Homo-oligomer: A and B are copies of this chain.
Amino acid sequence: MAGLTHFDPKGDAHMVDVSDKPVTSRVAVAEGCVKMMPETLDMITQGRAKKGDVLGVARLAGIMGAKKAAELIPLCHPLPITKVAVELTPDHSLPGVRIEATVKTTGQTGVEMEALTAVSAAALTLYDMVKAVEKSMVISDIRLKLKDGGKSGRYEAQ
Contact = CB atoms under 8 A, between A and B. Distances in A.
Contact of A15 (B40, B51, B63, B140): B63
B147 A135 contact: yes
Interface residues of chain A: helix, strand, loop or mixed (majority): mixed
Identify which of A13, A53, A68, A81 gathers the most chain B CB atoms within 10 Å of its CB: A13
Interface residues of A, number: 95
A51 B3 contact: yes
Contact of A108 (B54, B77, B106, B140): B106
Interface in A58-87: 59-61, 63-87
B83 A80 contact: no
Contacts of A107: 80
A141 to B, nearest CB: 6
B72 A61 contact: yes
Contacts of A11: 47, 49-53
B74 A64 contact: yes
